[in-house]
Amino acid sequence: MLPPPIAIRVATEWLAARARWQPLEVGFWIVAFAAIWLFPDRHLILTEIAWLGLFALSLDLILGYAGIISLGHAAFFGLGAYTAALLAKYEIINEPVLALLVAGLAAMALGFVTSFLVLRGSDLTRLMVTLGVALLLRELANRLGWLTGGADGLQGVSIKPVLGMFRFDMFGHTGYAYSLIVLFILFLIARRLVNSPFGLSLLSVKGNPLRASAIGISVDGRLIAIYTVAAGFAGIAGALLAQTTSFASLEVFSFDRSADLLLVLIIGGAGYLYGGLIGAIIFKFMQDYLSALTPQYWPFWIGLVLVVIVMVGRDRITSWTAPFRRIASHLNWRALARHVAASSSERR
Amino acid sequence: MMFKYTTGAIAALAIGTFAAGGAFAQDTVKIGLIISMTGQQASTGKQVKAGVDLYMKEHGDMVAGKKIQVILRDSGSVPDNTKRLAQELIVNDKVNVIAGFEITPAALVVAPLATEAKVVEVVMAAGTSIITEKSPYIVRTSFTVPQSCVIIADWAAKNKIKKVVTIVSDYAPGFDAEKSFTERFKAAGGTVAEAIRVPLANPDFSPFLQRAADAKPDAIFIFVPSGQGGSFMKQFAERGLDKAGIKLIGPGDVTDDDLLPGMGDAAIGTVTAHFYSADHNSAMNKAYVAAFEKANHFRPGFMSVGGYDGMNLIYSALKKTGGKADGDSLIAAMKGMKWESPRGPISIDPDTRDIIQNIYIRKVEKKNGQLYNVEFETFKDVKDPVKAAMKK
């Protein structure tokens, strides 16, 4: 055993190393932001990728980090979407950013309340419970036709300019920049969260809840916290959809949406934050490309890709990117070495 | 893919952002067809697409010196997909017309785009009455749900049906159907003993059918979206209601030609009011059905003529404008347009841009071993009753 002060330092340094930015990550975000200027005629689909990525990131937080499997994540997404759309329609909150926050908070509240349901039971129970919550909300939105427009969807929503300055245009330029910035900020929060001791404790809960509670981690508390946060993320993703399309329909609660989301996360890989984003990029571009090519049979090709991913195994696919990661880690080591040298010289 | 976008972006920068698209669009008229080829409404998309294809096959792709190009996109039955696809088609592909729209929210979500971009929106399937009110560029070639419902109410009242139980799917078009039927039927002296609403997704009709049977009505009025007619008929027969002397009436969605051949003898005797039957007796329809079945190996349903006539409307409008394809010229040319369709004579109401068509009363009968909706009474030139009532 290491003496306590050293153990703390080792742990802190390990956490810091975990949280350090990899060059590939930096590259990812540079490309994402560069797309604002590089691909102006693709902003509409890029906007969809941004909110779908955020939505998948939210699922990754509970599935990849806490092991909660959900088939009803669309409940929060849908609540966020309707909240944002209703706030705009009845001109309660005209500023989109503020409405986005309110939508996120509403979804968080729902997440907190329903989190007690997912604490109970096994994976199968969780699947059913989450599915049930989404179905209930969908039916509720259908019933409250006077408020939500029922099956016709919520019409006549007009979204005011972001921060009173940037109008949502038909080409989706504002929509993409806005969605991307929101995604980036929430990504930073998620990244901070999972690389904190809290995030580590989540992983231990996912690994073995019994042992986690034996070493003094409050399992239920952790699960409630992450479920609530993830619900907020999903709500904001839904609000982005509603704000960039000025529309919300019962579809936002649909089972298909939750199931597709799981697919997106599986394609991208769960448990490393970028899985949802990469999955969203692959899924949307494939859907767009294939459905333009064969409008009737594109789900077949998506299915095939999924089978390939499962059969070949993600490890082997990621090993194809090994050369890049080797270069990346090489760069990283140099940076680390410089950092260590600098800090040790300070100590002297 | 990356390469393609990069070169595209460079080219766009070099030429000047939008000049490139304009020159090309001179001799091509592009139609963005957005319809569900996958998802819950896939059967509608399949029919509309087949109707569009057949029209293009018969009439070629040149009209008024312009080449017609149809760009098909799958909405997956998701309205926000429809919106994005419509936006991309308008902004990137510079389409002159957007068409399709399997469900009401899909048609509605595109309405503001049609107005903003001044692009004609041809609704080929969705049937809620209000759709055409949402943009001055919307025109419809399918039907409105109330059109058929008020006619069947009139017919029922005249044919000794006094007491009816209504069963409708629990969503907006279902409410429309229930409301328009009930109002008209009561005004004609009938009574509605019970109004039952059935969940839209994966319905089990049997408990509702039992409730309906307990009320001992003369007839059951039924509206379900076209895909669910088969399972309804099966459960209707299983409960023995067909033998209990309870008639089945409704708009024609329940006996959609697309599914009718597989419904079994329980469907025989069902009386519906609708605008199209594959059995419609005209030379044009006989040729239509023969060509359609040859190309697709399934029977044309009422959704297919929405696609077929939608294309005819676009072609005829282009002929009238001499190839001018801007939204204002096209929509002006479309107003009041009259023509003969496989379903019979139809026209576009110049005031509402909605369709005016005959509604036929039909009875399911067996012909040459196959089930058909056989027409036996015609109500001529029916306008959308909801908008007609609003005017008064």
Q: How far A114 CA lies from chain B's nearest CA (Å)? A: 24
Q: How confident is the model at residue B1 (pLDDT cuts 50, 70, 90)?
A: very low
Quick check: helix, strand or coil at residue B203? coil
A48 touches chain B (CB under 8 A): yes
- Report the 3 state secondary structure along B309-325: HHHHHHHHHHHHHCCCC
Kindly state the tokens that stand for B232: 């309804």
Q: Please compute the mean of the pLDDT values over residues B360-370 and round it to a whole number.
A: 91
Say if CB B179 and CB B150 are below 8 A apart.
no
Average pLDDT taken over every residue of chain A: 86
With contacts defined as CB-CB under 8 Å, which chain A residues touch B298? none
Q: Which of B341, B40, B354 is closest to B202 using CA atoms?
A: B40
With contacts defined as CB-CB under 8 Å, which chain B residues touch A292? 73
Cβ neighbours, 10 Å, residue A115: 20
pLDDT at A325: 62
Average pLDDT taken over every residue of chain B: 87
Residue pLDDT, tens place only, B271-317: 999 999 999 999 999 999 999 999 998 999 999 999 999 999 999 99
With contacts defined as CB-CB under 8 Å, which chain B residues touch A88? none
Residue B16 reports pLDDT greater than 60: no
- Output the DSSP codes for A181-236: HHHHHHHHHHHHHHTSHHHHHHHHHHH-HHHHHHTT--HHHHHHHHHHHHHHHHHH
Topology agreement, domain B18-143+301-353 and domain B146-274+358-391: yes
Q: How confident is the model at residue A278 (pLDDT cuts 50, 70, 90)?
A: very high
Higher pLDDT, B230 or B94: B94
- Tally C-beta pairs within 8 A across A and B: 103
- Among B5, B44, B109, B134, the strongest candidate for a mutation testing the A interface, having the largest count of A CBs within 10 A, is B109
Backbone CA torsion sign across A22, A25, A27, A29: negative
Q: How confident is the model at residue B22 (pLDDT cuts 50, 70, 90)?
A: very low
Nearest residue in chain B measured CA to CA from A43: B88
Class of domain B18-143+301-353: alpha beta
Q: Residue A237: what residue type?
A: A
CB under 8 Å to B326, separation ≥6 — which residues?
Answer: B96, B118
Tokens 């503001």 sit on residue: B112
Q: Please compute the mean of the pLDDT values over residues A290-317 and round it to a whole number.
A: 78
Q: Which helix (H) or strand (E) holds B98?
A: strand B97-100
Residue B20 reports pLDDT greater than 80: no
Q: How confident is the model at residue B25 (pLDDT cuts 50, 70, 90)?
A: very low
Q: How far is Cα B124 from Cα A151, in angstroms, rounded to an integer?
A: 19
Selecting from B6, B38, B200 the residue whose C-beta is nearest the C-beta of A296 gives: B38
Selecting from A48, A251, A252 the residue whose C-beta is nearest the C-beta of B84 gives: A48
Q: How far B345 CA lies from chain A's nearest CA (Å)? A: 30
Selecting from B76, B109, B172 the residue whose C-beta is nearest the C-beta of A151 gives: B172
Residue A341 reports pLDDT greater than 80: no
Q: How confident is the model at residue A157 (pLDDT cuts 50, 70, 90)?
A: confident
CA triplet B304, B380, B217: central angle to 5 degrees? 85
- Among B2, B87, B95, B129, the strongest candidate for a mutation testing the A interface, having the largest count of A CBs within 10 A, is B87
Residue A339 reports pLDDT greater than 70: no
With contacts defined as CB-CB under 8 Å, which chain A residues touch B72? 295
Selecting from A155, A170, A291 the residue whose C-beta is nearest the C-beta of B91 gives: A170
With contacts defined as CB-CB under 8 Å, which chain B residues touch A142? 170-171
Greatest CA separation found in chain B? Answer: 76
With contacts defined as CB-CB under 8 Å, which chain A residues touch B113? 170
pLDDT at B30: 94
With contacts defined as CB-CB under 8 Å, which chain B residues touch A172? 87, 91
Alpha helical stretches, state H, chain A:
4-19, 23-38, 43-63, 74-89, 96-118, 123-143, 145-148, 173-194, 197-207, 209-214, 219-245, 255-268, 274-293, 298-312, 314-319, 322-347
Q: Which of A39, A103, A63 is closest to A276 using CA atoms?
A: A63
CA distances from A150 to A49, B104, B239 (A): 27, 11, 32
Residue B118 reports pLDDT greater than 50: yes
Residue A8 reports pLDDT greater than 60: yes
The contact set of B with A (CB < 8 A) is 1, 5-6, 8-9, 12, 17, 37-39, 42, 46, 72-74, 76-80, 83-84, 87-88, 90-92, 104-105, 108-109, 112-113, 116-117, 128, 130, 134, 170-173, 175, 200
Say if CB B319 and CB B339 are below 8 A apart.
no
Q: How far is Cα A30 from Cα A24, in angstroms, rounded to an integer?
A: 10
Residue pLDDT, tens place only, A310-337: 777 666 666 666 666 666 555 555 555 5
Q: Residue A5: what residue type?
A: P
A14 touches chain B (CB under 8 A): no
A300 touches chain B (CB under 8 A): no
Residue pLDDT, tens place only, A53-110: 999 999 999 999 998 989 999 999 999 999 999 999 988 888 999 999 999 999 999 9
Q: How far A137 CA lies from chain B's nearest CA (Å)? A: 14
Residue pLDDT, tens place only, B218-271: 999 999 887 788 888 888 888 888 788 889 999 998 899 988 888 888 888 899
Cβ neighbours, 10 Å, residue B24: 10
Nearest residue in chain B measured CA to CA from A299: B38
Residue pLDDT, tens place only, B29-85: 999 999 998 877 888 899 999 999 999 999 999 998 899 999 999 988 888 889 989
Q: Provide φ and ψ at B175, rounded to 5°.
A: -65, -40
pLDDT at B5: 46
pLDDT at B13: 40
Domain ranges of chain A: 23-190+218-312
Gap between the terminal Cα atoms of chain B: 57
- Among A171, A176, A249, A281, the strongest candidate for a mutation testing the B interface, having the largest count of B CBs within 10 A, is A249
Q: How confident is the model at residue B376 (pLDDT cuts 50, 70, 90)?
A: very high
Of all residues in chain B, the percent with pLDDT exceeding 70 is 93
Q: pTM for the complete prediction?
A: 0.81
pLDDT at A322: 66
With contacts defined as CB-CB under 8 Å, which chain B residues touch A253? none
pLDDT at B3: 43
CB under 8 Å to A230, separation ≥6 — which residues?
Answer: A58, A59, A61, A62, A76, A111
Please report the residues numbered 166 through 185 in chain A whose beta carbons come closer than 8 angstroms to any beta carbon of chain B: 170-172
- Among B17, B53, B80, B298, the strongest candidate for a mutation testing the A interface, having the largest count of A CBs within 10 A, is B80
pLDDT at B387: 83
Residue pLDDT, tens place only, B165-178: 999 988 778 888 99
Q: Residue B344: what residue type?
A: G
pLDDT at B221: 94
Topology of the domain covering B146-274+358-391:
Rossmann fold (3.40.50)
Bridge partners, B223 (sequence order):
B168
Domain ranges of chain B: 18-143+301-353, 146-274+358-391
pLDDT at B4: 44
Q: How far is Cα B137 from Cα B134, in angstroms, rounded to an integer?
A: 9
